């Protein structure tokens, strides 16, 4: 045996020994998480693999016959114009929705942390949108934005900003705004509660020391609140991004993806192609593409998050 082979063999043996020793030290922890890991593998891993397998076949929903087509669905998707339109509409929906929920949630949390009268009532009241089913909230907003009987048009007419009611959800240029406002209203309470919990963990001494040094409230917010909330904001926005990306109820209830598919996102299109049109293979291919987008986004997001030495 040469010196290089002997060195490689020794290194591999050393790594194997270290691995076994590490496993023995943490064997109890592995045994405790094993049932949950197996359960997740069964209920999450298997559907993902089955969806990928289905995406390689031409499989109509009304037939048991499957024809292997390889990557044909993926090739047709990336060369179609509708795919890039869906990416733009999904990105717009996610970016505006998450930004709106984050800003509104942070503003509400900062004010609820202060010593205001009726704080307990407002904390409870802000949870109401989170407790109402998405479909019901969407129906309420559809009535609010109704061109003839809607509350929003009534206010705009009263203020003299418009001369006649506007059919927001029927206008291809602004329908997505009408839907995203409803999504922001639904998702803001979750962000506010998460941010409020993070704010209460910031030591009050930091604000008192800053006040003694003459720092104004805006500077305290920029140099104390935001840095201390960094971890909470990153995790909350990551969760909100995933939930907004896969959101279905609000869009489908308010517009069904219309008018002219201007409010359709990738998830809405998956439902239309796979279940309404019965093309399970193409719908599965769209699902895999959407999953890959979210997976890559989460990896990059967490890499950026942990670059500063923070841990989950």
Q: What's the pLDDT tens digit per position in 108-131?
A: 998 888 777 777 787 777 777 778
Taking the C-alpha atoms of residue 17 and residue 29, their distance in angstroms, rounded to an integer, is 19
**Residue where the block lists tokens 């030290």:** 25
The DSSP result for 238-302, as a single string, is HHHHHHHHT--HHHHHHTTT-STTTT--HHHHHHIIIIIS-BHHHHHHHHHHHHHHHHHHHHHHH
> What percentage of the chain carries pLDDT values higher than 90?
41
pLDDT of residue 10: 52
Interval 217-221 mean pLDDT: 88
Interval 188-206 mean pLDDT: 90
pLDDT of residue 30: 86
pLDDT band at 9 (very low <50, low <70, confident <90, very high): low
Which residues in 48-57 are b (16+ Cβ under 10 Å) and which e? Answer: eeebeebbbb
The β-bridge partners of 258 are none
pLDDT of residue 115: 74
pLDDT of residue 130: 76
The DSSP result for 96-129, as a single string, is HHHHHHHHHHHHHHHHHHS--TTHHHHHHHTTHH
Q: What's the pLDDT tens digit per position in 23-72?
A: 888 888 888 999 998 998 888 888 899 999 999 998 877 777 788 988 99
Question: What 3 state SS string does 135-167 have?
Answer: HHHHHHHHHHCCCCCCHHHHHHHHCCCCCCCCC
pLDDT at 214 over 60: yes
pLDDT band at 95 (very low <50, low <70, confident <90, very high): very high
pLDDT at 247 over 80: yes
pLDDT at 301 over 60: yes
Q: What distance lies between CA 203 and its chain's CA centroid?
A: 30
Question: Worst-scoring range by mean pLDDT, 6-10, 57-61, 261-265?
Answer: 6-10
pLDDT of residue 5: 53
Q: What's the pLDDT tens digit per position in 144-163?
A: 988 888 888 888 888 888 88
> What percentage of the chain carries pLDDT values higher than 70?
93
> How does the average pLDDT of the chain come out, rounded?
86
The DSSP result for 187-249, as a single string, is HHHHHHHHHHHHHHTS-HHHHHHHHHTT--HHHHIIIIIHHHTHHHHHHHHHHHHHHHHT--H
pLDDT band at 292 (very low <50, low <70, confident <90, very high): very high
Overall pTM surpassing 0.85 (yes/no): no
Output the CA torsion 223→227→229→230 (10° steps): 150
Which residues in 259-274 are b (16+ Cβ under 10 Å) and which e? Answer: eebbbbbbbbbbbbbb
pLDDT of residue 124: 78
Question: Worst-scoring range by mean pLDDT, 20-24, 73-77, 152-156?
Answer: 20-24
Interval 257-281 mean pLDDT: 91
Interval 301-305 mean pLDDT: 78
């Amino acid at each position: 045996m040469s010196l290089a082979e002997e060195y490689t063999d020794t290194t591999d043996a050393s790594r194997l020994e270290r691995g076994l020793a590490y496993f023995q030290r943490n064997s109890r922890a592995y045994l405790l998480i094993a049932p949950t890991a197996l359960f997740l593998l069964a209920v999450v891993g298997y559907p993902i693999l089955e969806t990928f397998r289905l995406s390689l076949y031409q499989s109509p929903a009304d037939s048991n016959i499957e024809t292997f087509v390889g990557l044909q669905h993926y090739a047709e998707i990336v060369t179609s114009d509708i795919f890039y339109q869906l990416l733009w509409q999904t990105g717009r929906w996610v970016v505006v929705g998450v930004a709106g929920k984050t800003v509104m949630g942070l503003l509400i949390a900062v004010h609820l942390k202060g010593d205001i009268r009726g704080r307990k009532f407002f904390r409870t009241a802000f949870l109401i949108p989170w407790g109402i089913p998405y479909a019901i909230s969407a129906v309420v907003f559809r009535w609010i934005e109704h061109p003839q009987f809607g509350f929003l048009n009534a206010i705009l007419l009263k203020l003299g900003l418009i001369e006649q009611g506007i059919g927001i959800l029927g206008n291809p240029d602004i329908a997505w705004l009408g839907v995203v406002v409803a999504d922001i209203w639904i998702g803001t309470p979750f962000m506010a509660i998460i941010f409020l919990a993070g704010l209460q963990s910031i030591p009050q001494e930091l604000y008192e020391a800053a006040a003694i040094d003459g720092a104004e409230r805006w500077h305290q917010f920029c140099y104390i609140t935001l840095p201390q909330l960094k971890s909470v904001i990153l995790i909350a926005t990551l969760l909100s991004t995933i939930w907004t990306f896969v959101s279905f109820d609000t869009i489908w209830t308010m517009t069904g993806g219309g008018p002219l598919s201007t409010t359709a996102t990738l998830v809405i299109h998956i439902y239309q192609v796979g279940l309404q049109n019965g093309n399970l293979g193409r719908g599965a291919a769209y699902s895999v593409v959407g999953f890959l987008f979210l997976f890559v986004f989460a990896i990059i997001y967490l890499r950026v998050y942990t670059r500063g030495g923070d841990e989950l």
